[in-house]
Chain A
Amino acid sequence: MQYFTKIRQLLDNKFATRAILAALCVIMALLPLFLNNYVLNVLWNAFFYMLLAMGLNIIVGYCGLCDLGYAAKFAIGAYTTGILIKTYHWNFWLTLPASLAVSIIAALLIGGPTLKLRSDYLAIVTLGFAEIVRITARNSNITGSATGISAIPRPSFFGIRLVKPNHWYYVFLVLVIIFIIISGRIRNSRVGRALAFIREDEDAAQAMGVNTTSYKLLAYTIGAAMGGITGSFYAVKMTSISPSSFDFTQSVNILLAVILGGMGKIPGVIVGAAFFAIFPELFRDIPVIGDMRMLFFGILLIAVMLNRPQGLWPDKLGSEPGGLPGDINTVGRR
């Protein structure tokens, strides 16, 4: 299809890209003036999945590590903030560095010994870690056991108490933009190229002098830190958190958003996450079919995977630093 190629060509033009991005930012910033709370909340949910998907993208998309337990990273951030605010009465903004620190320490503890493993083993370890976090949260008193932590007070931002849906819309929009910038900077840096090298061929990377374990650990830690921060904001947005929000399905959902959109590519991941969050809501009011929406989603996912195994908006062929033409689906290949 020519349109598609033309759009791609247009997006390759740096000036055009910037203009489009700027226009998009303005549109997104003005949207709350026209939309009601429900639609804003759906968009918020899309932003939320975008943040998680971008964090996971660093681990899965950039570095090719298979992480089946991303919900744990986001749970750690959410619980750190929840506990610090509820039990120790911290200010929300002060819990952010704490949540960042706890996420990083947890990632180092779990990643340090296990990242020497190859992908499939790592998948098992991350899955196990996620279950440990969830079950610990479910059975500890400080995390409120099965009912979780509720009535977390909403934070203020320069005197504005963040209560309304449009407040949270803007908070998460800003977070999405920050995460895009972080992801983009990492991708185009020396670290990003090293990660891509590891993803494409770990042995070759090692042979060329890339310290694979420490780069993998770095990617894992950055991804975990992004998840932790997202979790912190999630906790105060929802005002309550419980272990059921961080189960295995949640991890799979985030991974699906990344795979659906296209691993490694920021717009792809964003499209995937947005699609994932908005699709089920479209079906909400349709009788009978509404109850079967997950069935349709599953069929669609299979269709996408059969026809576009590299995702809806994958990395460009060949132009990826370190990438080989037509050889993008690296997680599947390993």
Chain B
Amino acid sequence: MRGKKTARRLSLLIALAMVLSVFTGCGGNSNSGGGGNTGSGGGAEETITIGVLTPTSGTEAFYGKDMLQSYELAVDEINAAGGVLGRKLSLYPADDGCDANMASLAAEKIISMDCDFVVGGYCSGATIPALQLFYDADLLMLISAANSTQITALGLEQSFMLNSPGTHALLTLIDLCKSLDVKKAALIHQGDAYTKDLSDLCEAGLPEAGIEIATVQVMDKGAPDVSAIVTAIRNSGADFVYWCGYHADGSNVIKQLRQGGYTGYIAVGDGSASPELITACGEAGEGVYVTSPPFVEFAVGGEKFVADYNAKFNMNPGNYATLAYDSIYVLKAAIEQADSIETEAVRDAVQNISYQGLSGLIKFTQDRELEVSNFIILQIADGTFDLVIID
């Protein structure tokens, strides 16, 4: 048989590659040992290495890439302006693939490369196992996007979340309801963990703010007909509907609510904060409110960021770009304040920091969560999002 010889050769080659793999693995690491951080004794030329833990492959690769590019933009700006404490910054990106296993390998890789700090964190499920490893290795991590309350629950004092946890969406929603003088609110969620959590939070929190819950409805994902929900909401006498779900089904709900004769306010949560919602809703979307994570377009200094990002990467920044960009600047500010790159000193500096970034005011509570919500309120008007400012 002709194929037999090549097949054998191929398999031998693969076996050889595997054996080599172990050696290259070791070799690469023994090299890295020399370039590590020598703490305060290091010279002025020595760079500060920041490990980046983001998913740059797999289903969430788009967001991971977006974050990585924002880090690169910030690092390049800082280096062009002379660096931090006279030292240049450099990034060491490691792909966590939004997977717990891969994330722990990526974290070990970052640790073995003697990085001084870590930024990143998109998927909570991948970030949590990595955090424990960073903690064991005495590394500080600024978590740019992942915002699960479980991260807070870990109680690891060297990790800070720069994104608002779900509880902050509720605070923003209460502000909105009060300004609109809402009496009875209806909630709709989609039964999965994320949207149900948001709905549960609102169900518990709105009555405390004096807003009655008229009804809570569940819409199955992708269900074409929601007339039962529309009827229930109309009968409940709600003057405000909060859609906790995602934009894919949100447009359908909004359209059918309007067709069904509902005339009160409609607001949607951050799962629906996407320009696609506007196109899918069309006319019916006019006037709909959105409690949204910080969109870069509405940030002070946002135009410059968008322009720079566009010039460098030839694309528009995504939802978490501002948070990622701010992470690097928070780190820079903290290092300068601590006048050192020792983990403990920088940690204390981050704990006490007050930094006005693109994503809002960054200031941490003792639980290392954001003190002030970075959620913003948008309203759809003439086919675009407009920023709504409540005193």
Interface positions, chain A 249-284, Cβ under 8 Å from B, are 271, 274-275, 278-282, 284
CB neighbours (8 Å) of B57 from chain A are: 291, 293-294
Nearest residue in B to A164 (C-beta to C-beta)?
Answer: B136
Whether the pair A36, B112 counts as a contact (CB closer than 8 A) is: yes
Whether the pair B105, A35 counts as a contact (CB closer than 8 A) is: no
Interface presence of B236 (CB below 8 A): no
Interface presence of B29 (CB below 8 A): yes
Looking at the assembled complex, report how far the CB atom of B2 sits from the nearest CB atom of chain A, in whole angstroms. 11
Interface presence of B150 (CB below 8 A): yes
CB neighbours (8 Å) of A41 from chain B are: 104-105, 108
Whether the pair B9, A42 counts as a contact (CB closer than 8 A) is: no
Interface positions, chain B 237-271, Cβ under 8 Å from A, are none
Interface presence of B90 (CB below 8 A): no
Whether the pair B10, A308 counts as a contact (CB closer than 8 A) is: yes
CB neighbours (8 Å) of A139 from chain B are: 191-193
Whether the pair B124, A282 counts as a contact (CB closer than 8 A) is: no
> Which of B11-19, B277-285, B313-321, B376-384 contacts its partner?
B11-19
Whether the pair B105, A307 counts as a contact (CB closer than 8 A) is: no
Given contacts A42-B25, A278-B21, contact A240 B128 (CB under 8 A): yes
Whether the pair B129, A282 counts as a contact (CB closer than 8 A) is: no
| Complex Cα gap A39–B113 (Å) | 12
CB-based A-B contact count at 8 angstroms: 138
Looking at the assembled complex, report how far the CB atom of B8 sits from the nearest CB atom of chain A, in whole angstroms. 5
Whether the pair B18, A242 counts as a contact (CB closer than 8 A) is: no
Partner of B193, one of A138, A245, A307: A138
Interface positions, chain B 325-368, Cβ under 8 Å from A, are none
> Which of B94-102, B171-179, B213-221, B224-232 contacts its partner?
B94-102
Whether the pair A242, B125 counts as a contact (CB closer than 8 A) is: yes
Partner of A147, one of B3, B25, B193: B193
| Complex Cα gap A201–B193 (Å) | 46
Whether the pair B95, A165 counts as a contact (CB closer than 8 A) is: no
| Complex Cα gap A139–B101 (Å) | 22
Whether the pair B129, A4 counts as a contact (CB closer than 8 A) is: no
| Complex Cα gap A282–B106 (Å) | 12
| Complex Cα gap A274–B18 (Å) | 8
| Complex Cα gap A139–B197 (Å) | 11
Looking at the assembled complex, report how far the CB atom of B316 sits from the nearest CB atom of chain A, in whole angstroms. 21
Task: Provide the main secondary structure of the chain A interface.
Answer: helix
Tally B residues with Cβ within 8 Å of A: 52
Whether the pair A39, B194 counts as a contact (CB closer than 8 A) is: no
| Complex Cα gap A239–B150 (Å) | 13
Interface presence of B148 (CB below 8 A): yes
CB neighbours (8 Å) of A48 from chain B are: 101
Interface presence of A15 (CB below 8 A): no
Given contacts A150-B154, A308-B7, contact A244 B105 (CB under 8 A): no
Looking at the assembled complex, report how far the CB atom of B100 sits from the nearest CB atom of chain A, in whole angstroms. 5
Looking at the assembled complex, report how far the CB atom of B315 sits from the nearest CB atom of chain A, in whole angstroms. 16
Nearest residue in A to B196 (C-beta to C-beta)?
Answer: A145
Partner of A138, one of B22, B99, B192: B192
| Complex Cα gap A147–B56 (Å) | 21
Whether the pair A275, B112 counts as a contact (CB closer than 8 A) is: no
Chain B residues at the A interface, C-beta cutoff of 8 Å: 3, 5-12, 14-15, 18, 21-22, 24-26, 28-29, 56-57, 94-95, 98-102, 104-106, 108-109, 111-112, 123-126, 128-129, 132, 136, 148, 150, 153-154, 191-194, 197
In the complex, given contacts A245-B101, A282-B21, A308-B11, what are 10 additional A-B residue pairs having Cβ atoms less than 8 angstroms apart? A39-B26, A145-B193, A147-B125, A242-B125, A244-B123, A271-B15, A278-B25, A281-B105, A300-B14, A313-B11
Chosen A-B contacts, 14 in total, with CB atoms closer than 8 Å, are A38-B109, A38-B111, A39-B26, A40-B108, A139-B192, A145-B197, A146-B193, A238-B100, A242-B125, A275-B18, A280-B102, A291-B57, A304-B14, A312-B11
